[in-house]
Structure 1
Amino acid sequence: MASHRRPKQPSQTYATVLTATAAAAVALSAQPASADPLPDPSKKGVQAQVDRLYEEATQATEKYNGAKETAGRLEKQVEDLQEAAAREQSGLNSLRAQLGSIATAQYRTGGLDPSVQLLLSSDPDGFLDKASAMDRLSAQQVSALHHYESQQQGLQQKRQEATENLNNLAGVRKELGSKKKEIQGKLAQAQKLLNTLTAEERAQIADKEERANRSSERVELGNEASASQRAAAAFGAAKGKVGVPYVWGASGPNSFDCSGLTSWAFNQAGVTIPRTSQAQANVGTRISSMSALQPGDLIIMRTDLSHVGFYAGNGQILHAPKPGAQVRYESIARSGMPFMWGVRI
């Protein structure tokens, strides 16, 4: 007797495996035998993260440079105030000694003048008010006492200013340490990410960076003139540093960060400009249009104004771009940083 049972169907799992296997076979047969393997998206992500960390490190570097510049200014102010206070203290001691001699002479000739007693008391600031009512001082004595009081007040003010500046300096030095730690941390993170790549992948990144460095040897800048002799001189000094390595916080002559290069170059031209890109963005004459730039003008990049370089002509920037790079020419359009404005010094 014939059986009327339905034939057994393959299980759902088995069918899925068959379908996937067939699809894979079709896909493999459709690929040419010499096709390169698909890039690993996680590796591309590593490069993007490294680039972001380098950008953050350069931004922190400009803040570090600003704090360092402030620290230097405060140190100079404290030194000047302390020297001035020492000079005034010396003069005050001499004046007090002279007035003490007057007191000694008066004592030997019949008693100490009450006015001089007041002068040598613990409250010389209130002396003149009391002495004016006594009508016992000569014009010369009044002049000497005014001078003494003025010197004493000036000395106190300088000491107070020096103390305030020292307190400010301590805060700035703390900020310097914090920014330095932040920069070093970001660079360490970037290196840790690079270490996750294979030796071949790291070599490819290094080769790409080297090609960018070598491009400076064959860049076409045109023959446009600079807007001023000082801009031409500064730009000329910077051109002589092509190939020098980027080092955060460095201001030459053997290594630079972005604003270190521009401030150093202008200094070679006899012009002093601020140390940071943010401060350099607000000096000179602002040039809003890129088409109006001339070689030697500064170019301010990024929305936070954290990058600066020289306009080199023909749409090129001469700059110290980032960690691991060298001072070089690059296309502004391909730099990956938005143009904000130019500055003509």
Structure 2
Amino acid sequence: MASHRRPKQPSRTRVTVLTATAAAAVALTSQAAQAAPKPSKSEVKAKADALFEEAEAATEKYNGAKDKQEKLQKEISQLQDNVARGQDELNTLRDGLGSLASAQYRSGGIDPSVQLFLSSDPDDFLGKTSTLDQLSARQVGLLTKIQEKQRSLAQQRKEASDKLKDLADTRAELGKKKKEVQGKLGEAQKLLNTMTAKEKAALAAKEERASRDSARSALGNAKPGSGLAGAAFSAGQSRVGSPYVWGATGPSSFDCSGLTSWAYAQVGVSLPRTSQQQANIGTRIYSQSDLQVGDLVFFFDDLHHVGLYAGNGQVLHAPRTGTDVRYESMSTIGGPFEFGVRV
């Protein structure tokens, strides 16, 4: 028989204990939230700068993939043009052999050897020495040219196919690096957005003062550059104040290797696209005291940052997203000076 007794109500003491426990938990949570200190302005900047450095390293890899893609596209286009011309030449050779067959038909019938060629592969045909004996010298010459042209076209088509596959892989890598750069920049911007407008203005003013001090040090006491390096440095100076934009090569915006390659291009010197590639040209200079104005200077162990030496321990460079082309002390770049390169 079912029971109709009312469920037992919790005692007043139990309710009091539960309420007190819940209140204590809320208080502890509130205290924990209050205990988490807000990062200082310098901490936020340090974290954001670290992300900007990671983004720049990814940018140079992106630049390398983009440069490779452009070169592959040019090579593929050239190969495709060569294949098209080669096919036209092959068709002309075949037409020539066909004309011989027509002439033989009009003069009394087609040579069996020509009939054999017109209905089978030339490689197989030329392999039959007994058939070769029946050909005229002109026919042998035509068939040999056809065979060589077919082999050449097959090789070019294979090369084009391989490069197309490489191009697809490179495009995939390019997309991956682009997402990586954008992700790092987005994280850095979120951090900076936690700062007040006043804090951001104070940081910008501090960086501006540092850039002016570096410019005075470089331009006031350093010996002017000479030769191509000096001329390239002068070109770079003309872009002071231009914004850093990742992947940009000028003339109105730049990333680090974009600035150096643009500056040297103005004096007729073509530099590779990325900082790592630029590190492998010219003569390396390991002592900072031996550097001359206009030399390329490289930072970080993976060489993902490059600038133009400005003299007196200063560098002219495109630092990172959110900054402009400016002068800066080599000691404040954020990574160690590795070496210079004299182009």
1:85 is aligned to 2:83? yes
Deviation at 1:223, TM superposition (A): 4.3
1:105 corresponding residue in structure 2: 103
Instruction: Note if contact 1:246-1:320 (Cα within 8 Å) is conserved in structure 2.
Output: yes
1:224 is aligned to 2:223? yes
Deviation at 1:218, TM superposition (A): 3.0
Q: 1:118 to 1:308 in 2, by over 3 A?
A: same
Instruction: Note if contact 2:298-2:338 (Cα within 8 Å) is conserved in structure 1.
Output: yes
In the alignment, the residues of structure 2 paired with residue 140 and residue 157 of structure 1 have an alpha-carbon distance, to the nearest angstrom, of 26
In the alignment, the residues of structure 1 paired with residue 309 and residue 215 of structure 2 have an alpha-carbon distance, to the nearest angstrom, of 17
Q: Give the partner amino acid of 2:176.
A: S
Q: Give the partner amino acid of 1:165.
A: K
Deviation at 1:47, TM superposition (A): 1.5
In the alignment, the residues of structure 1 paired with residue 309 and residue 68 of structure 2 have an alpha-carbon distance, to the nearest angstrom, of 28
| Correspondence list, 1:163-174, <5 A | 163-174=161-172
TM-score normalised by structure 2 residue count: 0.85
Q: Give the partner amino acid of 1:191.
A: Q
- Out of 301, 312, 317, the residue aligned to residue 314 of structure 1 is 312
In the alignment, the residues of structure 2 paired with residue 157 and residue 89 of structure 1 have an alpha-carbon distance, to the nearest angstrom, of 13
1:67 corresponding residue in structure 2: 65
Aligned residues with identical type, % of pairs: 59
Instruction: Note if contact 1:209-1:325 (Cα within 8 Å) is conserved in structure 2.
Output: no
Structure 2: state its 5+ residue gaps. Answer: 1-36
In the alignment, the residues of structure 2 paired with residue 47 and residue 65 of structure 1 have an alpha-carbon distance, to the nearest angstrom, of 26
1:233 corresponding residue in structure 2: 231
Deviation at 1:323, TM superposition (A): 0.8
- Out of 52, 55, 76, the residue aligned to residue 54 of structure 1 is 52
- Out of 91, 102, 119, the residue aligned to residue 121 of structure 1 is 119
Greater Cα offset, 262-271 or 112-121: 112-121
Residue 233 of structure 1 aligns to a residue whose secondary structure is helix
Instruction: Note if contact 1:242-1:328 (Cα within 8 Å) is conserved in structure 2.
Output: yes
Q: 1:89 to 1:76 in 2, by over 3 A?
A: same
Count matched residues: 306
Deviation at 1:118, TM superposition (A): 2.6
- Out of 301, 304, 318, the residue aligned to residue 303 of structure 1 is 301
Deviation at 1:106, TM superposition (A): 1.6
Deviation at 1:156, TM superposition (A): 1.1
Greater Cα offset, 286-295 or 196-205: 196-205
In the alignment, the residues of structure 2 paired with residue 187 and residue 98 of structure 1 have an alpha-carbon distance, to the nearest angstrom, of 64
Instruction: Note if contact 2:48-2:191 (Cα within 8 Å) is conserved in structure 1.
Output: yes
Structure 1: state its 5+ residue gaps. Answer: 1-38
TM-score normalised by structure 1 residue count: 0.84
Residue 128 of structure 2 aligns to a residue whose secondary structure is helix
Deviation at 1:215, TM superposition (A): 4.1
Deviations 1:292-329 (A, max 9, x none): 11111100111000000111111111110111111111
Residue 108 of structure 2 aligns to a residue whose secondary structure is coil
| Correspondence list, 1:275-290, <5 A | 275-290=273-288
Instruction: Note if contact 1:259-1:308 (Cα within 8 Å) is conserved in structure 2.
Output: yes
Residue 340 of structure 2 aligns to a residue whose secondary structure is strand
| Correspondence list, 1:256-267, <5 A | 256-267=254-265
| Correspondence list, 1:5-24, <5 A | none
Deviations 1:98-139 (A, max 9, x none): 111111222233222122123222311222121565411222
Deviation at 1:73, TM superposition (A): 0.6
1:337 is aligned to 2:332? no
C-alpha root-mean-square deviation of aligned residues, in Å? 1.8
Residue 232 of structure 2 aligns to a residue whose secondary structure is helix
